[in-house]
Structure 1
């Protein structure tokens, strides 16, 4: 090929890349709204820690110009400017950042705040993944909006492969009646549509409050005693086992207490809808395996 032709072909390829970068992008968010941008987002504000982490996983961390408190993973997320907390947003701080995309959280952000931002003309993507597999789709959708589709697709495929491996390993096991405790006062658990319930199902567990419609219902100690779970698993707030998990030891009629099946999963691994959810799910599954082993030892 002649040098002039090579140069022309090279310039054409650059033009095609540039055109693709400027092309309109569109996805459907978790509440069914079509989110459309004239070109991939260059300035993104994330209104939830899990969304910040997922944006980084999708290859879009460099475009995140604002986020909320507790957005601490990966390490680079700690350096991003804060716009309040997910439940107490600073709308003026968000506006000052001039985002071309705002990523919100349906069950965490106040609906009034999201409506206000939408009314001000900002493009809003709303996140609410209630099933583990939804995380992979969300990575891909955010990658589309940020123009990092290749990175996002590769990450989503890795997630799906690991998820399939966990299902193959822990699916079809003997059922374990499970009480998942988020907090002590008020005593909170997870309902049927919460993603942790999906993790419990993957591990062949049965959420004893899995018929409740609320995402994070409040229950009573009496209700837990009546449900008689074979294991109690808690997350709490930090990366260490909450002291209040051992408060159950005084309720000796509960099978979980009789067999010392009181376990902990770090909240950042299971309460955030991110790729690390699979780490938390695996820990949960292994706890249920311990319950089964102890059950077998009790049998004659």
Structure 2
């Protein structure tokens, strides 16, 4: 089976002892019916709630190889970006199969669930979950993708201020909702930008992937000091849970549904004369 790095991964038998090296991977494995097969994961793997009880082997930047090996995994599912490639190559040399997961589009998520289900021998549950998720994506696309376009600034974090380009799955959610990511064409996947650049682009809506513990003064409300900006003038400052938007797991479809509703609000305010 081909992973998101383009490598072919072959298992001699369905995986029974899987380690997830990213929070979004943990969510994918649960959705694929693999709850009982996950023997290790990383920090911030907190959903579904049962994931909090899984032993930790590090975080998505650095793992404790000794602890990982003690769990005797027969499959590692890895996020390509924040994981230490040196460590991953070391584990590969030890003969542990690695499967890279890096969904860039909403439709990649149900596909990933079904792939992982095949690797764990939980095909039936994974097929059902993937099909149900794909149906929801299709419904959102049909309802919103052809609506009048809304120019969107997506704020990942405010200090430093950075966003995401069109290769990130968040931009695909914006597209499905009939929006345009104003910084989508930038080269870097998560570019650091200046406030002046946002002001110059004058987006119609600003969406922030805020965490519950993120102070509003440094989150979406920061922009209220610029009342002349279109998004501020029309009240189109929208905060959506970062765990729904920034993780490329099943819940991103919930985040996309909320995003579509917020962009529809922005469209409705075009007639209010502001």
Q: TM-score range by the shorter chain?
A: over 0.9
**TM norm structure 2:** 0.96
| Counterpart residue number, 1:66 | 40
Q: Name the CA distance, whole Å, in 1 between partners of 2:122 and 2:217.
A: 42
Cα displacement (A) at 1:51 = 0.4
Contact 1:235 1:242 in 2 (8 A): no
Q: Name the CA distance, whole Å, in 1 between partners of 2:16 and 2:103.
A: 24
Is 1:266 aligned with 2:266?
no
Cα displacement (A) at 1:88 = 2.1
Distance 1:231 1:276, change over 3 A: same
| Counterpart residue number, 1:88 | 62
Q: Name the CA distance, whole Å, in 2 between partners of 1:143 and 1:220.
A: 43
Give the gaps of 5 or more residues in structure 2: none
Instruction: Describe the SS at the equivalent of 2:247.
Output: coil
Q: Name the CA distance, whole Å, in 1 between partners of 2:12 and 2:216.
A: 47
Contact 1:41 1:145 in 2 (8 A): yes
| Counterpart residue number, 2:97 | 123
Q: Name the CA distance, whole Å, in 1 between partners of 2:66 and 2:186.
A: 37
Is 1:246 aligned with 2:221?
yes
Is 1:114 aligned with 2:88?
yes
Instruction: Describe the SS at the equivalent of 2:184.
Output: coil
Instruction: Describe the SS at the equivalent of 1:177.
Output: strand
Q: Which has the larger radius of gyration?
A: 1
Among residues 248, 256, 266, which one is paired with 2:231 in the alignment?
256
Instruction: Describe the SS at the equivalent of 1:89.
Output: coil
Higher RCO structure (Cα 8 Å, ≥6 apart) = 2
Instruction: Describe the SS at the equivalent of 2:100.
Output: strand
| Counterpart residue number, 1:33 | 7
| Counterpart residue number, 1:171 | 145
Q: Name the CA distance, whole Å, in 1 between partners of 2:213 and 2:136.
A: 23
More moved, 105-114 vs 158-167: 105-114
Q: Name the CA distance, whole Å, in 1 between partners of 2:148 and 2:74.
A: 49
**TM norm structure 1:** 0.88
Question: For 1:175-214, what aligned pairs fall within 5 Å after superposition?
Answer: 175-214=149-188
Q: Name the CA distance, whole Å, in 1 between partners of 2:32 and 2:213.
A: 25
Runs of 4+ in 1 over 6 A off after TM superposition: none
Cα displacement (A) at 1:298 = 1.8
| Counterpart residue number, 2:260 | 285
Contact 1:192 1:214 in 2 (8 A): no
| Counterpart residue number, 1:13 | none
Contact 1:235 1:241 in 2 (8 A): no
Contact 1:163 1:278 in 2 (8 A): yes
> Residues 37-90 of structure 1: CA distance to partner in whole angstroms, max 9, x if unpaired?
100001001000110111000001100000001111111111100011111211
Is 1:219 aligned with 2:181?
no
Alignment length (residue pairs): 273
Cα displacement (A) at 1:268 = 1.1
Give the gaps of 5 or more residues in structure 1: 1-26
Aligned CA-pair RMSD: 1.3
Contact 1:230 1:256 in 2 (8 A): yes
Is 1:142 aligned with 2:132?
no
